[in-house]
Structure 1
Amino acid sequence: MLAPLLATSVLSASIVVAQVKTDNEADLDPADWIEREAGIPVTDKLTIEKCGSCHAPDDKGNLSRISWIRATPEGWSQAIKRMVKLNGLSITPQEARDVVKYLGTWHGLSPEEAKPVMYFTERRIQDETIIPNEAVQHGCASCHAFAQPMSSRRSRREWGLLQNMHKALYSQADYQMSQPAEGQPEPEDSSKKPITRGEVALDWLSKEANLHSATWADWRPRIRTPKLAGTWVLSGKLRGQGRFVGEMTIAPAGDDFTTTTTLRSLETGQTMTRSGKGLVYAGYSWRGTSTGSGQPAKPDDMAGTLRETMWFAPDQSSAQGRWYWGEYHEFGVDVTMTRVTGGPVLAAVSPLGVKTGSKGTDLHIYGASLPSDLSTADLDFGGGVTVRKVTVLSPGEAVATIDVSPQAIVGLHDVALNGTVLPKALPVYRSVDYMKVTPETALAHLGGIKYGKGYEQFEATAWSKGPDGKPGTDDDFPIMPVDANWAMKEFPTVTYDNDIKFVGQLDNAGFFTPNVEGPNPERRFSRNNYGEVWIVATAKTLNGKDGKPLSAQAYLVTTVPAYKRWDQPEVSQ
């Protein structure tokens, strides 16, 4: 179980200068391996002062352990917490922030390394697709997301020491890693032990998550103080509340930034303002908070305080990420931003989904610096879509009246304004073929008496089978949200199941509120209010080919609260 529980641990740290795999490495404890990889020197005085008494320096400026690890800001923050709890580190909150900012920048990840695992820091719940094989899955991702180890880079020796730390702290980790690896041949010599999951994981991570990657070597000399001040056009989506457009103004505040954001709902037209602050690690990795101007009236109210995690492109022209909040981080706005530099910027179009053969559809185009003399010749929506008229309402909004040919190419069309392109922004469909409910699998937590509830918001979306005409293939695409009626249906697991009576309430907008925690005397065996149900959406106006309303369902597990919470069980006492 390889997690980026970074830096010095309960294991000894020796002064090292590099590492290669020696002939007898397999017979040695990783603490006894010889380091031959070059370390990354630590140059920050505060980091040396706070860490150097335990992490011994060498004549090249390396600090033991630290110089052979790179990690995200969250990883280094986690390491400092462990040093405080387990090793007696004395450090003030401001000093800790400064050390994390240095290490998260100069001993961090390259943009290319960080982007595939941003979902981890964005607190997204999703199926992981980056796990390379079954042995690594069981060895590293049985107890936590695989994105956790992949949020760091280490020398081979450091990956070995991390395995040691897991074995020392978690008995289950020792068992998991010592099991024979899946997919490996049996040893020809019956006296030899089979290759273990831990060995496979160590070899894979040493190669694919190595300390000195090509992308890090490319990025390190390019790290610079981010110049983000100015106006950014923003588009976002919140499940159950639809899409938003707006602007964020970023202003410098010392080494950090302040923000003012204006958002407009494309569903209701409501506008809202937010103010916040943020900082950037490694020249691209934004962490911030912002607060709305009103008092939240419901759990997923946009007026609440949001934590912002965003990945800025290396050229600092665009950004993407998630702004999340909620007791379990279950609510979050998917955000894309583009810097305003004087030329036209495209952010979104509305409504989503135009049908082949339709005529006279008014398509609203949102962005910034839209030219007042915008003409039909300036806009291009791809094959089969003809622009008949354009009206510019403001520099941030225009309306294009379009016709869609019956032979128009089905799929996600680009929206282009001369040389400015908003990719895959306009779904063109021939028919609504089926419907999906998202999330397809969901988790809610009981609460409300002593513990916080963990809510869930469901959404119904219409889908096209795509050009190949086959459902469930890679060319399928979403068309538009669907107005639906919502209901719960029993998911039978035992003969006396009656979960829909106890797990909670589902409103007419697909918002699920779990029941309270605790034993329920009205339930058989006084069980808690946990359970499993189907969440069923039935379209109000869309019918399938059989003439009946389209329907879809999702699976929901309502479970007990997280009675204890910690980011590191070994130091939370």
Structure 2
Amino acid sequence: MLLAGATASLAGAQGEDASPEKEAGIPVTDPLVVEKCGSCHAADSKGNLSRISWSRTTPEGWAQAIKRMVRLNGLDISPDQSRAIVASLSTSHGLSPEEAKAVMYIPEKRMIDETNIPNDDVRGACAACHAMGQPLSWRRSRHEWKLLQDLHVALYSQADAQYRRPAAVPPGAAPAEGEAPAKKRTRGEVALEWIRKAAPLHTPEWAAWSARVRSPKLAGEWLVTASVPGKGRYVGTMTLAAGGADRFTTRTVLRPIDGEGPAITRTGSGLVYAGYGWRGMSQGGGAGAPDALGNAAREAMWFDPDQKSGDGRWYWGEYHEFGYDVKLTRASAEPAVLAVVPGRLKVGTKGARLRILGHNLPAQPGDVDLGSGVTVRRVVSVSPGEWVVEADVAPAAPSGPRDVVLAGAVLEKAFPVYRSVDFMKVVPETGLARLGGARHPKGYQQFEALGFENGPDGKQGTADDVALGPIDVAWSIAEFPTVWYDDDVKFVGKLSPAALFTPNVDGPNPERRFGRNNYGEVWATATARAEKDKFGRPLTARGFLVVTVPSFQRWDQPEVSK
């Protein structure tokens, strides 16, 4: 985060030598950035602007910083100027593709269990209030990271309390370098030490990318595979047309891989930051229901530096809870395999009919390889977009994913071979929905039930488990007994047969004990219709669902977002 004002002005008044920075800055060369930011962020003889030249971040990070300057320091800036500065700084003071990839879940608005938190001290100091991806979306000098901590103390009283708590010292742990054994460190000190090493200003990745960053050449046709929780998988094409500097218009046509339902057509536009970071918007027909696939969506995607592939999420909903997970591959004259239907094959199966969906597939029957233990009996039909084959799966075929090879095109892990569905998981394992409808919008939660085989080791929950995809199940909700006699199931909302949870209205409920709101905690339970456990009982799984109150405060203030 940036602090403008007194500190920067004082440094400028005292001259370059007064700067506390010991690291080389990244000069600011854009005249508009210098014009709008230079009145507070003092320049030195090397073209550095105080604070700015010692920070790098994503487009969202720079947009957040500008909004803060508007709110706290009275920055006078137009929307066009703001967008231009975000685009400029995202290139000159941005992240390398490798650095950005690790935190793409932030602009993609994904709810995930973060695995990038090294210990409980860093968790308590940083991730108690926001996702760890927030600070890891920045790269700063050592001095800037300390100033960020100071800013938190100045603005948020809880941060000071969190930073001052004693750090957990593992038994027998050696003291930190240069530290006396008797000294006890705080959480804030541990977190600062870690973040300085994990996210420094200068990295080999940034040095390499800043020398080769180039304008995106993405115009043309792209092959798309997409999945939507609760809706299924889709394949299609996305056509990008150049619409100005780093800008493109889009037309996407997706069709369900199971052949049921109409094609989805979406049109939109997007802007590419730093040569690889796509941010766009699109919409299609059929909007209306909260989970309708034609609803207007924001798009956040990451393109590989070779500009031949990309992936990301197109999301919508008041809480960004709905979305397409997408993968893109640049279309060429070469054949490409996109998906295989059905999604799994059981050992011992005879004459299974598989649809191989692709692009520029050969028009004449030829060789197709479905992997170990799977033999193609015959090719039923061929077309440039789809081959249909019949295949046998040997009784001794090993469990696991199979690659499909057709005319030189390879789709890795196209489908799994399995012996049995040994267990299921409900995803997400912990869901979140928000009451609404009276004064605030609702926040929905979509669940899915996924099947798994134990894998070669025969144990559940290990690395060799074989993922089998969605399982046909019946859904219900059950009480999570946090409080006795609260009957959350009666009040929190409804779970549809397709596993879409719709929360109840917000506000006190006179029919409920103590007139409480309709919040609560329940289980979303999936019961398999056909799959049985070793005792002959239907497989079951459940996910935890928290139904809470609306989000009454939004940190991304609309008054400075226009």
- After TM superposition, is the score higher than 0.5? yes
Q: Equivalent residue for 1:148?
A: 134
Question: Which of residues 471, 478, 502 in structure 2 aligns to 1:513?
Answer: 502
Matched residue type, 2:276: Y
* TM-superposition CA deviations, 1:463-505 (whole Å, max 9, x none): 1111211111111132131221111111111222200000011
Question: Which of residues 12, 15, 31 in structure 1 aligns to 2:7?
Answer: 12
Q: Equivalent residue for 1:537?
A: 526
Pair 1:354-2:345 in alignment: yes
Pair 1:91-2:77 in alignment: yes
Q: Equivalent residue for 1:3?
A: none
Native 8 Å contact 1:15 1:64 kept in 2: no
1:325-404 pair list within 5 angstroms:
325-376=316-367, 379-404=368-393
Q: Equivalent residue for 1:324?
A: 315
- Cα 1:529–1:130 change in 2 (3 A) is same
Native 8 Å contact 1:259 1:275 kept in 2: yes
1:114-513 pair list within 5 angstroms:
114-183=100-169, 185=175, 193-255=183-245, 256-267=247-258, 268-294=260-286, 296-376=287-367, 379-513=368-502
Instruction: Output the CA distance in 1 between the equivalents of 2:151 and 2:289.
Output: 43
- Cα 1:188–1:230 change in 2 (3 A) is closer
Instruction: Output the CA distance in 2 between the equivalents of 1:131 and 1:109.
Output: 20
* TM-superposition CA deviations, 1:276-317 (whole Å, max 9, x none): 0001111111001001023x2311100100111111011011
Matched residue type, 2:278: W
- Aligned to 1:157, the other structure's residue is in SS state helix
Instruction: Output the CA distance in 1 between the equivalents of 2:553 and 2:444.
Output: 18
Instruction: Output the CA distance in 2 between the equivalents of 1:211 and 1:306.
Output: 33
Native 8 Å contact 1:488 1:534 kept in 2: yes
- Aligned to 1:8, the other structure's residue is in SS state coil
Native 8 Å contact 1:452 1:561 kept in 2: yes
Native 8 Å contact 1:234 1:335 kept in 2: yes
Instruction: Output the CA distance in 1 between the equivalents of 2:8 and 2:67.
Output: 18
Per-residue deviation at 1:543? 2.1
Per-residue deviation at 1:69? 0.3
Native 8 Å contact 1:84 1:90 kept in 2: yes
Matched residue type, 1:62: N
- Aligned to 2:105, the other structure's residue is in SS state helix
Per-residue deviation at 1:374? 4.3
Native 8 Å contact 1:186 1:194 kept in 2: no
- Cα 1:374–1:101 change in 2 (3 A) is farther
- Aligned to 1:358, the other structure's residue is in SS state coil
Instruction: Output the CA distance in 2 between the equivalents of 1:559 and 1:369.
Output: 49
Instruction: Output the CA distance in 2 between the equivalents of 1:13 and 1:183.
Output: 37
Instruction: Output the CA distance in 2 between the equivalents of 1:531 and 1:399.
Output: 49
Instruction: Output the CA distance in 1 between the equivalents of 2:103 and 2:350.
Output: 43
Q: Equivalent residue for 2:539?
A: 550
Instruction: Output the CA distance in 1 between the equivalents of 2:177 and 2:116.
Output: 28
- Cα 1:374–1:81 change in 2 (3 A) is farther
Count of aligned pairs = 551
Per-residue deviation at 1:392? 4.8
Native 8 Å contact 1:187 1:194 kept in 2: no
Native 8 Å contact 1:247 1:262 kept in 2: yes
Per-residue deviation at 1:418? 4.6
- Cα 1:480–1:508 change in 2 (3 A) is same
Matched residue type, 2:2: A
- Aligned to 1:121, the other structure's residue is in SS state coil
Matched residue type, 1:250: L
Deviates more, 1:389-398 or 1:523-532: 389-398
Matched residue type, 2:220: G
Per-residue deviation at 1:189? 9.7
Instruction: Output the CA distance in 1 between the equivalents of 2:167 and 2:19.
Output: 23
* TM-superposition CA deviations, 1:228-280 (whole Å, max 9, x none): 01111101111110111110000000110000000111242421100000011
Instruction: Output the CA distance in 1 between the equivalents of 2:380 and 2:251.
Output: 29
- Aligned to 1:220, the other structure's residue is in SS state helix
Point out where structure 2 has 5 or more consecutive residues left out of the alignment: none
Instruction: Output the CA distance in 2 between the equivalents of 1:63 and 1:333.
Output: 40
Instruction: Output the CA distance in 2 between the equivalents of 1:322 and 1:308.
Output: 6
Instruction: Output the CA distance in 1 between the equivalents of 2:379 and 2:54.
Output: 58
Matched residue type, 2:484: T
Instruction: Output the CA distance in 2 between the equivalents of 1:64 and 1:319.
Output: 35
Per-residue deviation at 1:186? 10
- Aligned to 1:117, the other structure's residue is in SS state coil
Question: Which of residues 24, 39, 61 in structure 2 aligns to 1:53?
Answer: 39
- Cα 1:16–1:470 change in 2 (3 A) is farther
Point out where structure 1 has 5 or more consecutive residues left out of the alignment: 1-5, 18-30
RMSD: 2.3
Deviates more, 1:237-246 or 1:196-205: 196-205
Native 8 Å contact 1:285 1:312 kept in 2: yes
Instruction: Output the CA distance in 2 between the equivalents of 1:568 and 1:137.
Output: 26
Instruction: Output the CA distance in 1 between the equivalents of 2:331 and 2:528.
Output: 39
- Cα 1:273–1:200 change in 2 (3 A) is same
* TM-superposition CA deviations, 1:34-62 (whole Å, max 9, x none): 31211111111111111111111111111
- Aligned to 1:120, the other structure's residue is in SS state coil
Deviates more, 1:60-69 or 1:401-410: 401-410
Instruction: Output the CA distance in 1 between the equivalents of 2:6 and 2:39.
Output: 16
Q: Equivalent residue for 2:95?
A: 109
Could you list the runs of 4 or more consecutive aligned residues of structure 1 that deviate by over 4 angstroms after TM superposition?
14-17, 184-193
Deviates more, 1:502-511 or 1:179-188: 179-188
Matched residue type, 1:8: L
Instruction: Output the CA distance in 2 between the equivalents of 1:113 and 1:568.
Output: 27
Per-residue deviation at 1:170? 0.5
Deviates more, 1:137-146 or 1:392-401: 392-401
Instruction: Output the CA distance in 2 between the equivalents of 1:369 and 1:217.
Output: 39
